[in-house]
Structure 1
Amino acid sequence: MMDHLASTSDTPSPVSTPAQTETIVLVGLMGAGKTTIGRRVATRLDLPFVDADVEIERAAGCTISEIFTRHGEPAFRDGERRVIKRLLQGPPCVLATGGGAFMDTQTRILVRQHARSVWLRCALPVLARRLSGRQGRPLLAQGDHKTILAALQAVRHPIYAEADIIVDCGDDSVDTSARRVLEALEQHRHPVRVPVQLDTHRYDVTIGADLISRAGAFLAPVLPQKRAIVITDRNVAALHLPRLMTALAETGVEARDFVVPGGEESKSLAQYGALIDDIITAGIERRTTVIGLGGGVVGDLAGFVAATVLRGVPFVQIPTTLLAQVDSSVGGKTGINARSGKNLIGAFHQPLAVLADSSALATLSRRERVAGYAEIVKAGLIDGVELFAWCENHGAAVLSGDPAALAEAVRRACLFKAGVVQADEREQAAEGGRALLNLGHTFAHALEASFGYDGRLLHGEAVSIGLHLAVGLSVRLGFCDASVLLRLDSHLRTRAMPAGLDWFADALSAEELLNHMARDKKMRDGRLSFVLLRDIGDCFTTRDVPMEIVRDFLIREGCRS
């Protein structure tokens, strides 16, 4: 046993750990203590301990040094990969790997699929002292230990940082280091992944706590190159940008940030043009990834930049609002506003990945949670009774900011939207399809336009009112029973959400709202598309709604003529 890891106690102090059903893979440079700490962790978890190097020597019938001497490092790495694959496909264990094992791309993929990885991070002076004078390390036989270790750190640390968990190990005892690993394992939760499988592209919506702090670990495996442009707004930058930039740097991703003003005004041609010029001047390549960090405005703007700069570059969404996490970040719609209306300039551009950090939602006000929750209610009305009933049972917890309820709401909404997008990616279905996601939005966009997108009315607040109006119009036209409207209004109003035009202090102009609707991008052959309901879970699109009926309906709802 290494002196620096000598145990301070023959009897390990107990640490509460969950039952282990997956292999724990320890990675790190030589001398980090993977074998010594790994044995102690395995004992505490009641799992077998396996040393990959020992298994490699057993399979090869000779020592690792002899493999290097006779066949070279490439042959050793090939055998190492095959041995680790076999071990990962076996029963759960604590597996200590060689310092170079995790550097292999295929091995990292296998580890992500079958195990939880823990990087035992150790400072260079500590490693150099531990390995001083030791034999049997082929890579250290080529020169000065400290120089070689420094070179290995520079290359390997950004890859080790892709591990699920990072534990710093210095001159602590075996017990202390093992306890840190066990505590980290107990606290770690694999994020939930919602796959979006399209005809020509696939990506995951990853949902979990504190994802921004580990964004590099999640994104490095999917980025075409380790270069990125981060677009965010001033408000989000103050809250989350430093953590993101640190996380990207940790995995060797070179990133530059571009900060725009907050608010809908940033989705303008002027802001878009200035941003494009700044990014091109700073230097961007076709394989550089644009990352949108923020709410729906930032996501739409950053996505449109990614769709158009250099005729299209990779894109990643890191939504930080509930509305963006449950709706706008999923599906590939990007765009900016024109003077005539919202999102009239845009493109479909699917992301490489979406990271929905549930911890970021803790910074939101209740008003912002209401805005996002309206989109979840919309999903419930479209999807059916089960999701809507979930909203009725858990909506109060979501709006109060309960972390578990928020995370589950995001998961359910993303699962719903992924299914819709997969079936009709570009909203080309003759009936229904992705167009159903516009439920309430024909009214909502008109309401937003009437307030000039100045922040007095949030998009989600407009959607909440729009849902009431869409269901109300369905009742007015005889498609839907009035009990559905009563159920929706009861749900919205008991949670102090906007549920009608009476939410506004002053009556709006029906004529002005109709004029805004006439400029809606869903207009076709002079006829406006509405999404209406027959019942919860039974929505449909129609262009056969006379505008005179809509005008009369708006006046009955409280508009002035």
Structure 2
Amino acid sequence: MSPLPPSLSADPAVSLPVPTCTVVLVGMMGAGKTTVGRRLAQVCRLPFVDADAEIERAAGCTIPEIFSRHGEAYFRAGERRVIERLIKGPPCILATGGGAWMDAQTRRLVRKHAVSIWLRAPVHVLLRRVQGRGGRPLLAQGSPEEVMTRLVGVRYPVYAEADIIIDCGDETVEQGVQRVRETLAEYQHPQKVPVALTQHSYDVLVGPDLISRAGAWVAPYLRQKRVVVITDDTVAALHLPRLLLSFQETGIQADVISVAGGEESKSLQCYGDVMTRLLSLGIERGTTIVALGGGVVGDLAGFVAATALRGIPFIQIPTTLLAQVDSSVGGKTGINSPSGKNLIGAFHQPIIVLADNSALATLPRRQRIAGYAEIVKSGLIADPDLFAWCETNGRSVLDGDPAALAEAVRRACTFKAAVVAADEREQAKLNGRALLNLGHTFGHALEAELGYDGRLLHGEGVSIGLHLAMALSVQLGYAPVEDLSRLDAHLRSLGMPVSFDWFDIPFSAQILLDHMTRDKKMQDGKISFVLLHGIGKAFTSRDVPMDTVRNLLINEGCKP
């Protein structure tokens, strides 16, 4: 059995866990919310509450009478108040009326305090179950089949925002209850990492199968139910069908723009082509860009979102470990120029990030290594406990263990969120967000020298850059040599690149220095280096002698 989500705990008297928070059943009339809910409550030894019965008790009259006397709007407001009181109380199994979930405020309350389950059934099953029953004021407004079909068309895309969807048909009550319990046992609510900024905040959701339910997670954040997905051809083949299906079931209109994979797509030419295609779709300022892919797609799509119509909403769905722990969090977007990497860009924060750990299962080990370097970097900067965690769990992360990957992403995102919140636009003069560039000055120079042709992934360049930054810190007398040995031992034990012995081609120290001088972090003609006083003790410096850097590069294997 899958690990229990935080909302569940084991009941020794039965073979499946029981809820420790309220379970809210949503769906159309006839879906079985009351029948299944009563039996589920008995099995789980929890109270069963019928929201409609509670409403009638509070109002002192029947629901048809409330509709007749006061109208639907009055009824929905009272319904929301009753549901809020119930879900904030002791755990129970709560069956709601068919229209309750259509209220946006009710949905927000349930998401915050409970677990929601949509019991989905086809129209013919619903009609058969409600046939001959009274007290259905909505079905009295015309042909029951026509009314039910119309309601299903309106409500099902909203019901699809529930945490869990269970299809119902002709199974027995016991079979339905068993399916609900099994699904609850397997359900893992995403872990939430908040990114709290001065003028804008958003969440990074970390968990399995988020792409399959992306429509449900993003729908509450959309200004209009229209998105444009920007992805690359490789990622589209792997993940796009599931994403589009999730949008379809939640009533979100989606267009797709796909680009070639690789760093070449972060070019002015590709940016112009994507922008032309985007504008030809007749987008509005409420249209949202969804980036589905790795760091290249995220950077490109984010910059497109930042500049189209002077800025439109943006969602990140990173599919690589590198993108999940680094580029998808923090709002840096941009493209490359012939003069250097990411020299054209903007700060444009997403409205939500979905870090789907299941997507990482498709990655080759090399891609996981590239992302893992950024996790190690976070520990080196200011989190020695994270670095120690990496020493213990790094092999499991690179082997693709789902639990280790999820925890690594959560820890790295939590660290980066704190750094970004303190210095969103990298304006701190000392030791702010610029610390996240640890290893990048060296790594970007290597990438530029190789022409971003794929021989060196960004994360591999960072891995080498981490070694070089620590080695430079040791050479300058800032860091103890023991920490350099500890870092190198960890990287080499996992088969990660550490220095120029990774390559079978020579590098020129002078040419690499020239690349560094074109870095966007130059100020007053001086290169900014992120150095270390040791593991977890990073700082920035603009007073590093270039001769010292040159000598380091030569000692590491570069030619002059």
Q: Is the pair's TM-score, using the shorter chain for normalization, greater than 0.5?
A: yes
Question: Following the alignment from structure 1 to structure 2, what is the Cα–Cα distance between the partners of residues 383 and 424?
Answer: 15
Question: What one-letter code is carried by the residue in structure 2 that aligns with 1:398?
Answer: V
Query: Where does residue 466 of structure 2 map in the other structure?
Result: 467
Cα offsets for 1:90-140 (capped at 9, x unmatched): 100000000000111111011001100000000011112222232110101
Query: Where does residue 45 of structure 1 map in the other structure?
Result: 44
Q: Displacement, 1:507?
A: 2.1
Which aligned pairs between 1:191-230 and structure 2 lie closer than 5 A? 191-230=190-229
Indicate the RMSD between aligned Cα atoms, in angstroms. 0.9
Cα offsets for 1:270-304 (capped at 9, x unmatched): 00000000010111100100000000000000000
In the superposition, the TM-score normalised over structure 1's length comes to 0.97
Is 1:285 matched with 2:312?
no
Question: Following the alignment from structure 1 to structure 2, what is the Cα–Cα distance between the partners of residues 340 and 494?
Answer: 35
Q: Displacement, 1:15?
A: 6.6
Query: Where does residue 537 of structure 2 map in the other structure?
Result: 538
Query: Where does residue 526 of structure 1 map in the other structure?
Result: 525
Question: Following the alignment from structure 1 to structure 2, what is the Cα–Cα distance between the partners of residues 222 and 281?
Answer: 24
Which aligned pairs between 1:343-492 and structure 2 lie closer than 5 A? 343-492=342-491
Which aligned pairs between 1:126-205 and structure 2 lie closer than 5 A? 126-205=125-204
Question: What one-letter code is carried by the residue in structure 2 that aligns with 1:331?
Answer: G
Question: Following the alignment from structure 1 to structure 2, what is the Cα–Cα distance between the partners of residues 217 and 17?
Answer: 26
Query: Where does residue 299 of structure 2 map in the other structure?
Result: 300
Question: What one-letter code is carried by the residue in structure 2 that aligns with 1:480?
Answer: A
Secondary structure class of the residue paired with 1:221: helix
Query: Where does residue 252 of structure 2 map in the other structure?
Result: 253
Question: What one-letter code is carried by the residue in structure 2 that aligns with 1:324?
Answer: A
Question: Following the alignment from structure 1 to structure 2, what is the Cα–Cα distance between the partners of residues 72 and 295?
Answer: 50
Say whether the 8 Å CA contact 1:15–1:179 is kept in structure 2: no
Question: Following the alignment from structure 1 to structure 2, what is the Cα–Cα distance between the partners of residues 48 and 448?
Answer: 61
Question: What one-letter code is carried by the residue in structure 2 that aligns with 1:167?
Answer: I
Q: Displacement, 1:350?
A: 0.3
Question: Following the alignment from structure 2 to structure 1, what is the Cα–Cα distance between the partners of residues 486 and 498?
Answer: 12
Query: Where does residue 107 of structure 1 map in the other structure?
Result: 106
Which aligned pairs between 1:116-131 and structure 2 lie closer than 5 A? 116-131=115-130
Question: Following the alignment from structure 1 to structure 2, what is the Cα–Cα distance between the partners of residues 449 and 166?
Answer: 48
Unaligned runs of 5+ in 1: 1-13
Query: Where does residue 497 of structure 2 map in the other structure?
Result: 498
Secondary structure class of the residue paired with 1:265: helix
Question: Following the alignment from structure 1 to structure 2, what is the Cα–Cα distance between the partners of residues 244 and 15?
Answer: 36
Query: Where does residue 8 of structure 1 map in the other structure?
Result: none
Question: Following the alignment from structure 1 to structure 2, what is the Cα–Cα distance between the partners of residues 192 and 469?
Answer: 34
Query: Where does residue 60 of structure 2 map in the other structure?
Result: 61
Question: Following the alignment from structure 1 to structure 2, what is the Cα–Cα distance between the partners of residues 78 and 346?
Answer: 46
Query: Where does residue 551 of structure 1 map in the other structure?
Result: 550
Seq. identity, %: 68
Question: Following the alignment from structure 1 to structure 2, what is the Cα–Cα distance between the partners of residues 482 and 501?
Answer: 19
Say whether the 8 Å CA contact 1:15–1:182 is kept in structure 2: no
Question: What one-letter code is carried by the residue in structure 2 that aligns with 1:306?
Answer: A
Q: Displacement, 1:515?
A: 1.0
Q: Displacement, 1:518?
A: 1.0
Secondary structure class of the residue paired with 1:343: strand
> How many aligned positions are there?
548
Query: Where does residue 8 of structure 2 map in the other structure?
Result: none
Cα offsets for 1:512-560 (capped at 9, x unmatched): 1111111000011110000000111111101111212211110011001
Q: Displacement, 1:344?
A: 0.3
Question: Following the alignment from structure 1 to structure 2, what is the Cα–Cα distance between the partners of residues 538 and 131?
Answer: 67
Say whether the 8 Å CA contact 1:15–1:183 is kept in structure 2: no
Q: Displacement, 1:224?
A: 1.1
Unaligned runs of 5+ in 2: 1-12
Question: What one-letter code is carried by the residue in structure 2 that aligns with 1:440?
Answer: G
Question: Following the alignment from structure 2 to structure 1, what is the Cα–Cα distance between the partners of residues 39 and 382?
Answer: 50
Question: What one-letter code is carried by the residue in structure 1 that aligns with 2:21?
Answer: E
Say whether the 8 Å CA contact 1:23–1:91 is kept in structure 2: yes
Say whether the 8 Å CA contact 1:161–1:250 is kept in structure 2: yes
Q: Displacement, 1:239?
A: 0.2
Q: Displacement, 1:84?
A: 0.6
In the superposition, the TM-score normalised over structure 2's length comes to 0.97
Query: Where does residue 81 of structure 1 map in the other structure?
Result: 80
Question: What one-letter code is carried by the residue in structure 1 that aligns with 2:361?
Answer: A
Query: Where does residue 324 of structure 2 map in the other structure?
Result: 325
Query: Where does residue 92 of structure 2 map in the other structure?
Result: 93
Cα offsets for 1:182-201 (capped at 9, x unmatched): 11111101110000000001
Cα offsets for 1:40-63 (capped at 9, x unmatched): 111111111000000000011111
